[in-house]
Structure 1
Amino acid sequence: MEIIKIPKMEKKEYDSLIEEGYVSRIAFQGEKYPYIAPFLYVFDGKFLYFLSTKYGKKMN
């Protein structure tokens, strides 16, 4: 697996990147491997709002 370094970005650049998307993936520690859970989000220009479900490993 190749390691990719994320380049430095100005606030305008990462705000634009976040505004264009709507799904994020967050990794949690699993028993043997990391557990990656998708989260829907909305960015209003200042805050990120995440939508989660009430089921799945992420609730544990």
Structure 2
Amino acid sequence: MTDHSTGVTTEKRRALTPFLALALLLGTLALGACNTMEGAGDDLSAAGDAMSDSAEDNKGY
């Protein structure tokens, strides 16, 4: 049976559904990982700034 508006058969649609679901899941996880890595980068940057400030404050000259 073919959907005449798209030309896609029901069998093809059923076969593609799990792949589409997997693609959406992986895309969601990838975006979440980007946000997590951005936050980790911000944290590391703040730690580096704090260490630099502390080093400047404790120089003997």
TM-score by length of 2: 0.22
Higher strand proportion: 1
- Higher-RCO chain (CA-CA 8 Å, sequence separation at least 6): 1
Question: Quick check: which has more Rg, 1 or 2?
Answer: 2
Instruction: Tell me the TM-score normalized by structure 1.
Output: 0.23
